[in-house]
Structure 1
């Protein structure tokens, strides 16, 4: 219950240790992946990575985590509650891969200069930042009219496909470390077991993984790519680097504007929806944050990071309910920002990359994927469960498409019409993955919204969402690879026809007295007595 009296708020509670190690390791993994992409994919010079990009990234993330800690503090103080958890934030993981492989890599290959790829990435973030700031004013309306099952279901799809799947694979590639670390985490975070002296489960899992890896190294074995030689060479990047303005590089990147806008606009919309989903997820866990302020903050800190040399956008993360369930409140967010400053400004990332096995961290990400996937079902009416399942499918299709493309790329095989036909003959519907997975989070949201309103017998509202889906599809925001006109005409037409059918059904159909046979009202015909 809210109160007008401001009450003292503890800046640190014991649960913040759990959330710090959980969320901190999540951030650490993302920074390690980011560094690997820049080093091994873009072939960026190490002085640019450790002297320009990572310091700017650290500054942006410090501002973001500090702001959300302050927002949680003021919210807790205003309401008099002691269970308010700060929103988690950091580098947008999907965008990390998009800006690397869609913007920076092609331009680097075309020009032969990774610096130009970096400059193009800066301009991409520049435009994304303004899309976020402007979109923040329309996002609250979208939240009001969109069913929670659609928002959380689309979020669960991203969480399962792009957060949980790879860590799960990593764990089973190194099961002795991965499975045991997973058990250490689940026993504490799902099972409620407290370890001696309140030691955080995440710290125990990492310590166990390091003990196994370095114990094996001492016996002459290499596990999970960790070895003493790699650790020794990592110290060459150790040192202090303060972020410096990169406005001249942002200006130079505008020469690639035509390429950049093709992805900047649809992914800006993706950001809006993702942020709304994550704010909705926090509200389902009991913490209400204003969507406009969240999106505006993401846009502002992303813009600051861009002007200082960071080509990766900031976003509110999936996972607030997980960190809150661990006991995280205000302090974990600010402490994570301090940690990021140390990692990025002192060149510690390279050392950590050589010291900690990723497989010891992967179970934490799998836990978050499990929690967010479960929340989509637990925080919505049981009758909406089919809509949640429908919302998952586009993200699963997008994930499967990346797997197929990765396999074809590794084999050096070009995608041709003949290959697509051959794959279809073997059950791999490549074109179907492209269409369903295009704009996955928007596709999942629209499809699930239609399903929810059908379940609720609000057929005219379902028709409106179907027509919105038609418009988004026509312009390539859904079911397409890029924005344009008449991108996937048959799918757009299908949405129009579906909308017309739903509208007519809502206007003309005579509803019966019995409720619709949704899952929580299903009757087992076998169990019914014969008449």
Structure 2
């Protein structure tokens, strides 16, 4: 049969399972984000339900529509019925990063929900540009930055901003949050080699947590009735003016946006590589660019969160899914997000019961990272965790002080010292924690591989980032006091590493600099 006579049957036996699994996984992020913005941050529903959620629905609809089309084109080109589209949605670590490191801090400091929304949109717009640049530079980055540094940074982010933050939220509401958590963890530990056996337990965990919350009076009929007031039609509205306004306050968040989005397009690369190994080869650069385009399009219509290709393609393919789940999920997201049904679902399902799924995602990403790494890099990954953990500590301290009616910057460091709180150390390591984590992991991984000159290059980059305030400083500023201190220290480290590299190059026994053992482009991870 010629290509003209081939017809791709885009609905397979596994598309129902894939539709349910990906919908609950993806929509749990939307419910969590909506709950955190409205209930934890206290942002008004007119912004969250009226602007943010419709923008999310549009972005995910457009992205899923594209990946449905891409799978159909691949099937027609290769005349195969077993082509599976790539799962698509909001990245979990990007969601938590945007919430707790961009939108939340702006709102806590200014109490201006509109400004927090605008800065979040501007950050997503820039993040989309970084994703598009990744389509051209991503392969160079993964060929030159050690894989364990890239994956360690991602695993550290997932562990802190998904698992640790999620655990704190669950234990804050243990009555209806703890039992679902144990259901997920027991299923995960008991069926570690059956990744998709977790789907029914995830649904069961949410249902049990919801039932307990209603039985205990934490979710009430009054709240449920009030939620119907938000029902209506909320078409995505053009937010170009909001993005322009948000650019005025975006500079301090560049050290968060850039490394987060590097991880985002690396996740896309990993998804593409795993799809290729499963038999579906999609154009690498085009897919990465389309991720960025969908993120930018979403930001132009109110979505402050970056979008990306998910992991999981091989598992859904194994179940017999094709491309139908992408079309179904895209339409469902658009329908729910533009009708106010998200508010109704929030009144039915407590945020903490859904958060357990994201806790599992954090564990899963960290677990797959350690499984894929040589043991000699474990210390690199542990050390890359530290800046991000301190960034979380910094966020907690700052939020607690603001909740008490104070401002962290107005409290002298000696007041903290009286209670054995090394506040300056926490702030130095927390400022720009994502970028510090990535660069420090790269430096240490090169040292492990005895690539001392490359390690020196990482130290030089750290010196430059410190000098302009990208790391260790409260904001972007050329040659601030912390910038000078850390810049000189990292410059000294760079000189030492370069001299060490030159020494090994001239050893008579041929003890030259080593080569990295792993590269993401050579094999799939996760």
Match of 2:248 among 237, 251, 258: 258
Which deviates the most, 445-454 or 278-287? 278-287
Task: Assess if the C-alpha contact under 8 Å between 1:124 and 1:260 holds in 2.
Answer: yes
* Structure 2 segments unaligned to the other structure (5+ residues): 1-5, 518-526
Alpha-carbon distance in structure 2 between the residues aligned to 1:317 and 1:403: 31
Q: Which residue of 1 aligns with 2:497?
A: 502
Deviations 1:100-131 (A, max 9, x none): 2344565664xxxx556645554454444445
Alpha-carbon distance in structure 2 between the residues aligned to 1:421 and 1:281: 47
Deviations 1:156-186 (A, max 9, x none): 0110000111322344423653344325642
Alignment of 1:387-426 (within 5 A): 387-415=380-408, 419-424=412-417, 426=419
Q: Which residue of 1 aligns with 2:267?
A: 278
Q: Which residue of 2 aligns with 1:66?
A: 65
Task: Assess if the C-alpha contact under 8 Å between 1:262 and 1:482 holds in 2.
Answer: yes
Deviations 1:382-421 (A, max 9, x none): 2222222222222112122222222222333443586533
Deviations 1:324-380 (A, max 9, x none): 699577554443322211221111111100111333323321221111101222112
Q: Which residue of 2 aligns with 1:474?
A: 467
Q: Which residue of 1 aligns with 2:331?
A: 338
Q: Aligned-pair distance for 1:444? A: 1.8
Q: Which residue of 1 aligns with 2:290?
A: 297
Alpha-carbon distance in structure 1 between the residues aligned to 2:408 and 2:437: 26
Alignment of 1:142-157 (within 5 A): 142-157=141-156
Match of 1:269 among 258, 265, 289: 258
- Please give the secondary structure, in 2, of the residue aligned with 1:499: helix
Alignment of 1:213-228 (within 5 A): 213-214=213-214, 216=215, 221-222=216-217, 225-228=218-221
Alpha-carbon distance in structure 2 between the residues aligned to 1:152 and 1:380: 9
Rate the CA distance shift 1:150–1:259 in 2: closer, same or farther, 3 A.
same
Say if 2:448 is the partner of 1:455. Answer: yes
Match of 1:315 among 297, 303, 307: 307
Task: Assess if the C-alpha contact under 8 Å between 2:384 and 2:438 holds in 1.
Answer: yes
Task: Assess if the C-alpha contact under 8 Å between 1:185 and 1:364 holds in 2.
Answer: no
Say if 2:139 is the partner of 1:140. Answer: yes
Rate the CA distance shift 1:98–1:366 in 2: closer, same or farther, 3 A.
closer
Rate the CA distance shift 1:145–1:72 in 2: closer, same or farther, 3 A.
farther
Task: Assess if the C-alpha contact under 8 Å between 2:59 and 2:297 holds in 1.
Answer: yes
- Please give the secondary structure, in 1, of the residue aligned with 2:136: coil
Rate the CA distance shift 1:47–1:171 in 2: closer, same or farther, 3 A.
closer
Alpha-carbon distance in structure 2 between the residues aligned to 1:231 and 1:503: 64
Which deviates the most, 312-321 or 268-277? 312-321
Alpha-carbon distance in structure 2 between the residues aligned to 1:447 and 1:105: 30
Q: Aligned-pair distance for 1:499? A: 1.3
Match of 2:99 among 90, 96, 99: 96
Q: Aligned-pair distance for 1:202? A: 2.3
Deviations 1:79-102 (A, max 9, x none): 879696725432641123444234
Task: Assess if the C-alpha contact under 8 Å between 2:148 and 2:381 holds in 1.
Answer: yes
Which deviates the most, 265-274 or 393-402? 265-274
Alpha-carbon distance in structure 1 between the residues aligned to 2:364 and 2:350: 23
Q: Which residue of 1 aligns with 2:478?
A: 485
Q: Which residue of 2 aligns with 1:239?
A: 232
Alpha-carbon distance in structure 2 between the residues aligned to 1:504 and 1:346: 63
Rate the CA distance shift 1:342–1:318 in 2: closer, same or farther, 3 A.
same
With normalisation by structure 2, the TM-score equals 0.80
Which deviates the most, 388-397 or 201-210? 201-210
Rate the CA distance shift 1:132–1:482 in 2: closer, same or farther, 3 A.
farther
Q: Aligned-pair distance for 1:154? A: 0.2
Say if 2:192 is the partner of 1:190. Answer: yes
Q: Aligned-pair distance for 1:460? A: 1.5
Alpha-carbon distance in structure 2 between the residues aligned to 1:187 and 1:20: 25
Which deviates the most, 326-335 or 162-171? 326-335
Rate the CA distance shift 1:462–1:440 in 2: closer, same or farther, 3 A.
same
- Please give the secondary structure, in 2, of the residue aligned with 1:480: coil
Say if 2:53 is the partner of 1:54. Answer: yes
- Please give the secondary structure, in 1, of the residue aligned with 2:408: coil
Alpha-carbon distance in structure 1 between the residues aligned to 2:249 and 2:422: 29
Say if 2:457 is the partner of 1:464. Answer: yes
Rate the CA distance shift 1:491–1:193 in 2: closer, same or farther, 3 A.
closer
Rate the CA distance shift 1:489–1:377 in 2: closer, same or farther, 3 A.
same
* Structure 1 segments unaligned to the other structure (5+ residues): 1-6, 521-531
Alpha-carbon distance in structure 2 between the residues aligned to 1:416 and 1:434: 11
Alpha-carbon distance in structure 2 between the residues aligned to 1:199 and 1:299: 29
